[in-house]
């Protein structure tokens, strides 16, 4: 979640028992309202923590009316979800422990922890449209591809909930789908993902196509390094243009987005702005090295790519309404530097918002709070979303009919 | 909706313009009230409310511009009321110091000879109570209990007060020229002149081993700060003592100031078979278990286990005695309690400081500092809580005055006695 890496260090948690003084619900409420009200620095108007508590305390009391000091976490959770909804910025949200574990796995170059069949789908009234079939995973191996329309899951009409339930069951299930009108059925057995969510490069007709799923990294794996490697390979193969596909891309780390952009822009940076005095931090990239400079201190090298590259190849970036947070940042860095044209839909709207996973909350969950507002190095604020240079709707009907309109437009632009 | 927001914003404007000092105080107060899990029984809500009044007074002239620096002394005073050595404010510089000791590299930045010394009551002399491993004093053979009576030939008794003594010693060291210390040592009051020169030294502390002429190994662990280094070094030194056929060992934990739990527990495995600590926070959100057994360090957090093989482990099986005192704190107390519980050695000395059953966790503050708070309580494998203090099996009251005047280290002598070794001086 564009969460900065430093604070993610293994503070996983599981909520079990009650507290010492007030009800569990009251404790959780107090904790979450402080973390939101004290640190919030996002685009919404959020009152400080005292006001926030005053405002939502009656709701908690209503929910806890019958249980008193035995009122459980679930009641507070409802109120917190309500606060998150009222804030209505796409970044601020509750995160489960499972979600944080998945992020750590992405950072290690792996897929999610729970067994899956390796699909990203989008729900439509006609069924589930496959937006990605990850090579190497069960669905891909069984023949499914982007653009297929899944109509049945285990004999039932296909919904996202049914697919998730079938994957969670861990046992084989049937999947009915159609490709351009012809119906097919396969049997899939969910399994734990392998290293299939790393950037994937294809070169066809002298155009390099790089699919990027997220921008996580760890000590052992760097998405940015894979992007630099891909840029080098594309140029070495003599490609005359490159497409970076960030449609549906998850977030990751902002610093990783900056390091990734460096493969094409060389130098760049951003400022993290907290609502407190003297707490800004400036991140810059230069020669594949990432520097951090806390306000009033010297800049320090934080990390460095092993094999940085600087590519001159013409570049088009694909985005859609699901391109989120750090992925929006990568598109923005490339667009703002005049290095790439962006094609597709306006992005999710969490550009320039960041924060760390606060917690653990005492119920074992975490909370992501927009505590950091991002600025360009000249102090101008980031926009809230990426506006494509060429707006093309991500048309699922067309995709099911075999036409990827955004990709087609990008190919035209590189011709 | 929009209108509501505007109204709300107007209503809130006085509060949302809190001063930096108020923000810092709010942050520190929240963390203290919400997470504190130490022994203090004060009403924390009442405590923070009382200090809020202090802050209001201190900030009255500046109001909204009241700076962080106004709140810091108030926060310090507030947490001091808890009287808990695991709950304290850390400045930006303190944090840097902690980071450096963790890395095992804490440059002194000034010339040092590497001793801690205290005044000897009734005189101007200084008593050496700690020597930094590898520093000039250590190299020159200075040791715990040595009494400095003259510097560069000038008797300290001629100086008018203690401050001037300290200043004189500092200036002599800072000059960068050789310094001659005249000392009295041991029960024989042997008079020695030692020449040493100040230099920049590493203030990070490491375990050290000295083997006495009578074959007794003295293993000193000053703290558990240096990550990945202290535990390993303890095992290396135990092996060295074994190779040199030491007949018994005294584990010196007097003044041990604690540090990292992992380094403590790895160290403990050199003396006991099943080194184990479980930690639990106030809300039982996280249960962390640390164990060294069968050559592996295993850390379990809420059921998720990470295990590392430790290739360097060894185990002391000879006679052992452990020295503790009122400055043995935190990790030092954990180790003493674990050894006592495993019944492998007597503890000798006086009860320890009293933070041997909690851990402290630093929460970052918006002024760049941190508030470290008693966050976890510690438990043995069978669920019994660790004791706050380690209580000696053999109580030996001793005073620095007596050590300075007679040169006799009574707790050490008692430790030897417990090991069945006749004290023969140094």
10-29 in A: which are within 8 Å (CB) of B?
Answer: 10-17, 19-20, 27
Domain around B246: 208-358+376-418
Contact A17, B284 (CB under 8 A): yes
Which of these three, B172, B202, B232, is where a domain ends? B202
Separation of alpha carbons A40 and B186, rounded Å: 63
Which of these three, B202, B217, B248, is where a domain ends? B202
pLDDT tens per residue across span B123-146: 999 999 999 999 999 999 999 999
Same-domain pairing of B153 and B176 = yes
Same-domain pairing of A31 and A129 = no
Separation of alpha carbons B217 and B240, rounded Å: 10
Quick one: how many helices (H) and strands (E) in chain A?
Answer: 11, 21
The answer to whether position B426 is within a domain reads: no
* pLDDT for position A13: 28
* pLDDT for position B17: 62
Same-domain pairing of A235 and A347 = yes
pLDDT tens per residue across span B384-416: 999 999 999 999 998 889 999 999 999 999 999
| Close Cβ partners of A84 (under 8 Å, ≥ 6 residues apart) | A92, A93, A94
In angstroms, how far is CA B329 from the centroid of its own chain? Answer: 6
Query: How many angstroms separate the CA of residue A253 from the nearest CA in chain B?
Result: 21
Tokens 């001063």 label which residue?
B19
Packing angle between helix B20-35 and helix B44-59, nearest 10 degrees? 170
357-376 in B: which are within 8 Å (CB) of A?
Answer: 366-368
Same-domain pairing of A336 and A201 = yes
Residues of A in contact with B300 (CB under 8 A): none
- Report the CATH number at residue A162: 2.30.42.10
Domain count along chain A:
2
Q: Do A45 and B283 touch (CB under 8 A)?
A: no
The answer to whether position B337 is within a domain reads: yes
Q: Is B285 on the interface with A (CB under 8 A)?
A: yes
Residues of A in contact with B301 (CB under 8 A): 10, 12
DSSP A307: S
Element (DSSP H or E) covering residue A53: helix A49-63
Same-domain pairing of A310 and A362 = yes
Separation of alpha carbons B350 and B394, rounded Å: 8
- Average of per-residue pLDDT across B38-60: 96
* pLDDT for position B302: 79
Same-domain pairing of A160 and A94 = no
Element (DSSP H or E) covering residue B279: strand B275-281
- pLDDT above 90: residue B10: no
The β-bridge relationship of strands B216-220 and B248-252 is parallel
- Report the CATH number at residue B135: 2.30.42.10
Which of these three, B182, B202, B222, is where a domain ends? B202
Same-domain pairing of B218 and B311 = yes
Q: Is the pTM of this model over 0.90?
A: no
Q: Is B283 on the interface with A (CB under 8 A)?
A: yes
Which of these three, A131, A164, A188, is where a domain ends? A188
Q: Do A11 and B286 touch (CB under 8 A)?
A: yes
Among A276, A296, A359, the strongest candidate for a mutation testing the B interface, having the largest count of B CBs within 10 A, is A276
Among A6, A13, A28, A55, the strongest candidate for a mutation testing the B interface, having the largest count of B CBs within 10 A, is A13
Backbone Cα Rg of chain A: 22
Same-domain pairing of A175 and A93 = no
Residues of A in contact with B286 (CB under 8 A): 11, 13-14, 360
Same-domain pairing of A177 and A229 = no
Same-domain pairing of A319 and A410 = yes
pLDDT-derived band at B9 (thresholds 50, 70, 90) equals very low
Separation of alpha carbons A136 and B237, rounded Å: 51
- Report the CATH number at residue B353: 3.90.226.10
Same-domain pairing of B262 and B408 = yes
pLDDT-derived band at B14 (thresholds 50, 70, 90) equals very low
| Close Cβ partners of B4 (under 8 Å, ≥ 6 residues apart) | none
Same-domain pairing of A80 and A123 = no
Domain around A381: 1-110+197-415
Which phi-psi region, left, alpha or beta, contains residue A197 (left: φ > 0; alpha: ψ -120 to 50)? Answer: alpha
Domain count along chain B:
2
- Report the CATH number at residue A22: 3.90.226.10
Same-domain pairing of B250 and B317 = yes
| Close Cβ partners of B53 (under 8 Å, ≥ 6 residues apart) | none
Same-domain pairing of B213 and B132 = no
Interface predicted TM-score (ipTM): 0.85
* pLDDT for position B424: 58
Same-domain pairing of B223 and B123 = no
The answer to whether position B74 is within a domain reads: no
Same-domain pairing of B239 and B342 = yes
The answer to whether position B264 is within a domain reads: yes
Instruction: Specify the long-range contacts of residues A64-72, CB closer than 8 Å, at least 24 apart.
Output: A64/A23, A64/A25, A64/A26, A67/A23, A67/A25, A68/A23, A69/A22, A69/A23, A69/A26, A70/A18, A70/A23, A70/A24, A71/A23, A71/A24, A71/A25, A71/A26, A72/A23, A72/A24, A72/A25
CB contacts < 8 A, A to B, total 72
Same-domain pairing of B161 and B136 = yes
Query: How many angstroms separate the CA of residue A187 from the nearest CA in chain B?
Result: 33
Same-domain pairing of B246 and B191 = no
Residues of B in contact with A277 (CB under 8 A): 20, 68, 366
Please give chain A's pLDDT, 415 residues, in tens: 443 433 333 333 222 333 345 899 999 999 999 999 999 999 999 999 999 999 999 999 999 999 989 999 999 999 999 999 999 999 999 999 899 899 999 999 999 999 999 999 999 999 999 999 999 999 999 999 999 999 999 999 999 999 999 999 999 999 999 999 899 999 999 999 999 999 999 999 999 999 999 999 999 999 999 999 999 999 999 999 999 999 999 999 999 999 999 999 999 999 999 999 889 999 999 999 999 999 988 999 999 999 999 999 999 999 999 999 999 999 999 999 999 999 999 999 999 999 987 778 999 999 999 999 999 999 999 999 999 999 999 999 999 999 999 999 999 999 8
């Amino acid at each position: 979640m564009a969460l900065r890496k430093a604070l993610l260090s293994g503070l996983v948690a599981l909520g079990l028992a009650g507290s010492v003084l007030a009800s569990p619900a009251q404790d959780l409420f107090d904790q979450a309202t402080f973390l939101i009200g004290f640190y919030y620095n996002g685009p919404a108007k959020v009152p400080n923590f005292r006001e926030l508590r005053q405002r939502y305390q009656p709701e908690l009391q209503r929910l806890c009316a019958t249980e008193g000091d035995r009122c459980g976490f679930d009641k507070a959770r409802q109120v917190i979800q309500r606060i998150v909804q009222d804030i209505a910025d796409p970044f601020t949200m509750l995160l489960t422990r499972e979600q944080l574990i998945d992020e750590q796995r992405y950072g290690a170059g792996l897929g999610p922890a729970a067994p899956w069949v390796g699909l990203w789908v989008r729900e439509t009234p006609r069924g589930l449209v496959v937006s990605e079939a990850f090579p190497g995973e069960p669905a891909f191996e069984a023949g499914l591809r982007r653009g297929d329309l899944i109509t049945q899951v285990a004999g039932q009409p296909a919904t996202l909930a049914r697919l998730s339930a079938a994957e969670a069951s861990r046992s084989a299930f049937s999947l009915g789908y159609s490709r351009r009108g012809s119906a097919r059925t396969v049997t899939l057995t969910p399994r734990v993902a392998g290293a299939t969510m790393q950037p994937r490069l294809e070169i066809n007709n002298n155009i390099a196509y790089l699919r990027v799923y997220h921008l996580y990294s760890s000590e052992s794996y760097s998405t940015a390094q894979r992007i630099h490697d891909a840029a080098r390979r594309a140029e070495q193969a003599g490609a005359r243009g490159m497409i970076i596909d960030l449609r549906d891309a998850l977030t990751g780390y902002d610093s990783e987005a900056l390091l990734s952009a460096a493969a094409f822009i060389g130098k760049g940076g951003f400022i993290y702005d907290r609502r407190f005095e003297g707490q800004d931090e400036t991140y810059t990239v230069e020669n594949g090295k990432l520097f951090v400079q806390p306000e009033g201190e010297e800049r320090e090298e934080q990390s460095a790519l092993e094999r940085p590259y600087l590519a001159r190849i013409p570049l088009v970036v694909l985005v859609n309404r699901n391109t989120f947070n750090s992925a929006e940042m990568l598109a923005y860095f490339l667009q703002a530097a005049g290095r790439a044209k962006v094609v597709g839909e306006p992005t999710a709207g969490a550009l320039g918002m960041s924060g760390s996973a606060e917690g653990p909350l005492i119920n074992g969950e975490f909370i992501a709070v927009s505590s950091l507002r991002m600025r360009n190095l000249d102090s101008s604020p980031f926009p809230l979303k990426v506006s494509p240079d060429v707006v093309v709707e991500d048309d699922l009907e067309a995709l099911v009919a075999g036409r990827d309109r955004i990709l087609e437009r990008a190919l035209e632009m590189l011709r | 909706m929009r209108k509501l927001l505007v109204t709300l914003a107007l209503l809130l404007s006085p509060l949302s313009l809190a001063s930096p000092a108020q923000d810092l105080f709010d942050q520190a107060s929240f963390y203290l009230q919400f997470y504190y899990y130490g022994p203090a029984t004060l009403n924390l809500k009442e405590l923070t409310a009382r200090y809020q009044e202090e802050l209001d007074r201190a900030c009255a002239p500046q109001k909204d511009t009241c700076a962080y620096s106004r709140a810091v002394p108030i926060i310090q005073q507030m947490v001091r009321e808890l009287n808990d050595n695991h709950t304290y404010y850390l400045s930006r510089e303190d944090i840097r110091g902690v980071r450096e000791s963790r890395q095992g590299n804490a440059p002194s930045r000034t010339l040092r000879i590497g001793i801690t010394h205290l005044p000897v009551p009734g005189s101007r002399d200084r008593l050496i109570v700690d020597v930094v491993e590898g520093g000039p004093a250590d190299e020159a053979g200075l040791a715990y209990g040595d009494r400095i009576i003259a510097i560069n030939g000038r008797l300290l008794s001629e100086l008018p007060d203690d401050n001037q003594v300290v200043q004189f010693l500092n200036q002599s060291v800072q000059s960068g020229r050789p310094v001659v210390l005249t000392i009295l040592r041991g029960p024989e009051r042997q008079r020695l002149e030692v020449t040493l020169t100040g230099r920049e030294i590493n203030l990070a502390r490491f375990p050290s081993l000295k083997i006495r002429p009578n074959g007794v190994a003295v293993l000193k662990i000053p703290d558990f700060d240096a990550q990945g280094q202290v535990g390993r070094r303890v095992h290396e030194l135990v092996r060295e003592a074994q190779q040199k056929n030491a007949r018994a060992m005294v584990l010196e934990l007097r003044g041990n100031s604690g540090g990292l739990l992992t380094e403590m527990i790895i160290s403990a495995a050199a003396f006991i078979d099943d080194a184990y600590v479980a930690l639990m926070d106030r809300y039982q959100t996280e249960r962390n278990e640390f164990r060294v057994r069968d050559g592996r360090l295993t850390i379990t957090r809420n059921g998720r286990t990470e295990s590392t093989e430790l290739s360097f482990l060894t185990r002391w099986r000879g006679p052992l005695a452990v020295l503790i005192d009122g400055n043995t704190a935190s990790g030092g107390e954990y180790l003493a309690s674990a050894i006592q519980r495993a019944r492998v050695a007597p503890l000798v000395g006086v009860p320890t400081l009293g933070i041997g059953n909690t851990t402290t966790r630093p929460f970052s503050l918006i002024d760049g500092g941190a508030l470290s708070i008693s966050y976890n309580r510690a438990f043995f494998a069978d669920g019994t809580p660790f004791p706050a203090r380690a209580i000696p099996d053999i109580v030996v009251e001793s005073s620095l005055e007596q050590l300075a005047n007679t040169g006799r280290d009574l707790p050490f002598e008692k430790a030897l006695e417990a090991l069945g070794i006749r004290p023969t001086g140094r």
